[in-house]
Chain A
Amino acid sequence: MNILRQLLRRLIPMFSIVVIATFLLSLLMRLLPGDPAAIMIPNGSIDQQIEIAKETGLDRGLFGYYWKWFSDVFTGDFGKYYLNGGYRDLGGVIADTLPVTLMLIIYAQIVALTIAIPLGLASAYKEGKRFDRITSTVMFTTVSFPSFALALIFSLIFAVNLGWVDPIGYVSPSENLGEHLKLMILPVMSLAFGLASGYTRLLRTDVIATLKDDYVTMAASKGISNRRVLWRHVFRPSSTTLLTSAALNMGGLIGGTIVIETIFVIPGIGYEIFYSIGARQVVAMQTLIALISIGYVFFNTMVDLLTQITDPRTRERRA
């Protein structure tokens, strides 16, 4: 009940943040130079451009346009890609592409956490020793590589030189799970390596602090094994920052997939955002980018709730 109350209490600010974020996005879109309708269909007639402006609310002021867009999205009309003589429904595009991107992000998070948690714990436990120094150096180096650079390096090494995987392409898991996983290796690794570096460093810092807590000393003095102390008594309270960071990265990762999906030709939302930017599909761009901000707010709220489950101290503080 308490959690439900917490959830409801967070829904209002969450909704407000989404409104403010998407409104600011509308403002930015409207500040772009040129007539958006003319830019969307540069070869269209004036009548067609007027028709599109009317349909999208671009013929109204900023607030009128925003209200039209917001109420449409709220009722499930996500907008369209406008062509010179027709359109493609964006709702269908999102339905096709969003699951692909979410899958990519979830894979990347799983891989990143799988690498980061044992490394972070071990580094903290062996603080200042050779293992810690080597891990910190490697992680610091890796985090300084942008994901697109890693993508191209991985592609050159694993796809071109070693020939282990294909450099581009996507197969859905329902079609061929093995091929799906194989094709996702490079994009997932490109996204996960940077994440893992950051997560390892965060966890290491928190674990080092937790290890100095009295209850940890107490647990150790009771004769509980080091492994058990680390996993049971240290990791759980130390994972708050890691969890928050992972959740915040979910929204950010949708943005990160723009480049990765374009490089590896994965038909996800990032690839669509890249296209909509290039084609100056203003309305589609706004909807797709709004998805990132909604995702960001959603996952941030979720992590707040999860934190209260994993760390009762935060629950008590907020009560």
Chain B
Amino acid sequence: MTERQTTRSRVMRRVGAAIAATIAVSTVASTGSNAASTSAAKAGGEIKVGIFDTFPGFCNNNNPANSSLMATRAIFEGLVEKTRGNDFVGLLAQSWAPSADFKTWDITLRQGVTYHNGQVFNADSVVSNMNVNSGRRAAQGIGVGTNITFGANIANFAKVSDYVVRFSLHRAQNDFLGTLYASGRLFMRADAQLATGGATGTCSTTAIGTGPFKVQSWNSNELVAVKNENYWRKDPKNPSAKLPYLDKITFTNVKEGSQRAAAVRRGTLDAGMFTSFSEGTFIKDLRQRKSVVTEFKSPNEYYPSLWLNQGKTGSPLANKNARLAVISCIDRANFVKVRAKGESVVAKSLVGPSSVMYTTRGFSKFSPKAARDYVAAYKAETGATSLTLSIPADSSSASQANAKFLINQWAKCGITVNMVVEETAVIIAKAFNPTVPFAQQQAYDILPLLLFEGTDVAFNLPFVATNMFPAGSTNPVAGAFRGVLGGLLNLNKHLDANVDAAFFAGQAAATKAAAKAKYQEGTAYLQTNGFMTSIQHGYYTLFTTKKLGGIGTLKLPEGKTQRLITNYGIDWTGVYKK
């Protein structure tokens, strides 16, 4: 990064103009590639893309992370997509019509779409997918996972005609499209993929979507995707051309960030994805090489949180003063400088300014004195002689260094926090344990985890609501899953109905302004009562060689432009090799 750019970004951060920065980056990137795309778009060619995640499989409950989700999205498509203006627009859905009370949504599907195996995409197919996504085929061992929680408000769904599906909801939900979007991961899969599940099934190992690419081969570290010759989308700027432009993309897990960066610099990889949370050094290095690479950077819309567990038996964090002590003793600016190498932004709210949930109200600032006062108040209220907590870290040096950084700060405020070193998979298994009662589902006092993201509420809500299945739910799967999965994602393990009230009221509001006010009220409540906090907000970025064109320029079917890049990368449909 040049000195001028560094200064500019510092000034922007100082004035808190994150939105301005986001728009600027998006505009520069899209304008640059736009100019090249229309004249130079050409079909053919193979490319290699370096990612930093492994491939866990292709069923709805495999939950591929970030960069492997990017590869998965080249194979599968969902009903809706999100534009750069953060509107929801149809992809496999053509249009929708909510009832006046937002409790019924009729989704009209796009015609002329087929899966990779020739199956026609229609209402039957959506019903089939929703049966899996909602856990209704749990008896066949397909689709059961935390993903069911996201659709817990869906009471029922049914085919109205060949291309119309009706969703009936328990609660009014004006942002139901956000549920269908599910942060870009609610895909439609062919019946052949959904045929069998369980330990020996095909749902995870067979990938049959409607996307621009088909799976040629895959293993945990590599996915080879080849062109779907029967893909349905067209490039409005080049209507005679068949999409996608590329013949083949090989997505490879290059775990070591320095090697991923080196491979992009040398051109061994045509593109490589990076995260600001742990790869700032490599990002900065690549950014200096403007003659060799082009950067496509997401907004700072990824919000890691420290989840404070109130539910654990005897947890000190059931006490509000204890929680406020913890979150008042975090020097966020220093953390960003030291641990993130300045590549993330200091959090001023649980979410970033572009989120409809954003408010700084009640967000605790760094104040060791206030923290010490809260500790004293906690001791006075409870009779405790100390405030002792646990925080997990995985075996990576970065994770442990992050934890140590915070532990040292907390120690200065009279808070003792012990680091528990465990593998990531164990931490996740202990943080979301469905086999024990609600209060024990989360094993740690303070859990650092990136779950909040984006601009809307639908994806974030299951992590803060007490139980996503409404009480008295008539959802046929609620009986089996309400007690087990309904509150599993609620990592604070709280039972405070005020949180639900604020966010659900926002979803039921008649106007966007009213909804936003309620969401902000909910965020302020979480912040004021110290349910959780955030230290830094970060981004994901993709560096490509100069050989690639068309990134972020292909219009969605209804004319608007898709988000340039997110945590799950870019859309590869309109990308071509120059």
Contacts and interface: CB of A to CB of B under 8 A. Distances in A.
Interface of A: 33-35, 38-39, 41-48, 51-52, 55, 81-88, 93, 152, 155-156, 159-160, 163, 166-169, 262-265, 267, 271-272, 274-275, 277-280
Interface string B509-527: 0000000000000000000
B470 interface: no
A169 B258 CA distance: 14
A85 B143 contact: yes
A265 B252 contact: yes
A279 B254 contact: no
B548 interface: no
B254 A51 contact: no
Contact of A168 (B54, B269, B428): B269
Interface residues of B, number: 56
B142 A85 contact: yes
5 contacts: A42-B432, A44-B61, A45-B141, A271-B221, A279-B220
Contacts of A81: 220
A38 B268 CA distance: 38
A196 B319 CA distance: 61
A143 B76 CA distance: 49
Nearest to A163: B266
Contacts of B220: 81, 88, 272, 275, 279
A268 to B, nearest CB: 11
B62 A159 contact: no
Contacts of A85: 57, 59, 61-62, 141-143, 197-198, 201-204
Interface in B197-249: 197-206, 219-222
B422 interface: yes
B567 interface: no
B56 A83 contact: yes
B426 interface: yes
A55 B423 contact: no
Contact of A55 (B50, B199, B221): B199
Nearest to B59: A85
B262 interface: yes
Given A85-B204, A166-B266, A46 B256 contact: no
Contacts of B199: 41, 44, 48, 51-52, 55, 82, 86-87
A276 B434 CA distance: 23
Contact of B263 (A44, A82, A88, A168): A168
A155 B256 CA distance: 12
Among A34, A55, A163, residue most surrounded by chain B Cβ atoms (within 10 Å): A34
Contact of A279 (B54, B61, B262): B54
Contact of B56 (A34, A168, A169, A279): A279
Among B143, B199, B202, residue most surrounded by chain A Cβ atoms (within 10 Å): B199
Contact of A43 (B145, B205, B219): B145
A45 B142 CA distance: 9
Contact of A167 (B59, B201, B268, B432): B268
A66 B233 CA distance: 53
B125 to A, nearest CB: 18
A279 B266 CA distance: 30
Interface string B259-291: 110110110110000000000000000000000
Contacts of A87: 199-200, 204-205
Contacts of A263: 255-256, 259
A278 B202 CA distance: 23
B121 to A, nearest CB: 21
A300 to B, nearest CB: 30
